[in-house]
Amino acid sequence: MRIDVFTLFPDWFDWFKTQRHVTNAMALGSSLECVDYREHTPLNWGQVDDTPFGGGAGMVLRVDVVEAALRARYGEDPVATRERRRVIALTPGGRMLDDGVVEELAAEPELTLLCGRYEGFDERILDHFCSDQLSIGRYVLAGGELAAMVVCDAVLRKLPGALGHVESAREESFSAALGGAPEYPHYTRPADWRGWEVPGVLLSGHHARIRDWRHEQSRARAGTGEDDSLS
Ligand SMILES: C[S@@+](CC[C@H](N)C(=O)[O-])C[C@H]1O[C@@H](n2cnc3c(N)ncnc32)[C@H](O)[C@@H]1O
């Protein structure tokens, strides 16, 4: 998986790139590289944005600036780039990120993520250079960087070998293994803390009963269990 993030703040990703599942994915051949729009702007003084036509507050990320950055990275017209790789703009109103979308993206060999800032993108960037728009929730962040990190985090941990334990990613919230339901509860030592006891079945050593109990709990959390009193 090769991920390119286009941003005005590449430094934001320095910390993210040191996280264990990210370094694991990198060690297994994936990459996460940032491209700074400002380094490729054809305008003077590092200009990347401009005032909106029609008036209004804020600044808009310019289409010529984003085109220059995409051309510099991929050596072709960005209209062609989106035909051969997913070029995804982070936008508050985009398709909502969920586990299904993450699975879909994790199956791609390459991803391009475009981070907006200020008032957002000139609409022609979205119309002509992007294959998708993704939102991480119906609220507005100051920029697309945190949203891009959320996407990278969720996608990279799906890759084989990124997590220490393969099982961790197989049976977790919203996975196919749990029928799309939230995960069941976990407990660890001590088995009794202030009288709050761990459910006895988990101490029984009976694997089949433990598995059944967990799946019941998961279904109950989704509101699809036969016995909702378990939740
Ligand atoms: C301040 S926001 C722009 C908001 C825009 N004026 C609007 O009302 O939709 C600046 C940038 O942050 C990113 N962003 C903000 N909230 C987001 C969200 N919930 N999901 C994905 N990206 C988001 C986008 O890249 C956006 O272009």
pLDDT at 166: 67
Residue nearest to atom 1 of ligand 1 (CA): 142
pLDDT at 161: 87
Residues 6 or more apart from 179 whose CB is under 8 A from it? 218, 219, 222, 224
pLDDT at 230: 37
Low-confidence ranges of the chain (pLDDT < 70): 166-167, 224-231
Atom nearest to 61 CA in ligand 1 = 27
Cross-strand bridge partners of residue 189: none
Q: Is 57 in the pocket of ligand 1 (CB under 6 A)?
A: no
pLDDT at 164: 76
The best mutation among 91, 95, 115, 121 to test binding of ligand 1, ranked by most ligand atoms within 8 Å of the C-beta, falls on 91
Atom nearest to 140 CA in ligand 1 = 16
Give residue 67 CA to ligand 1 midpoint distance, Å.
19
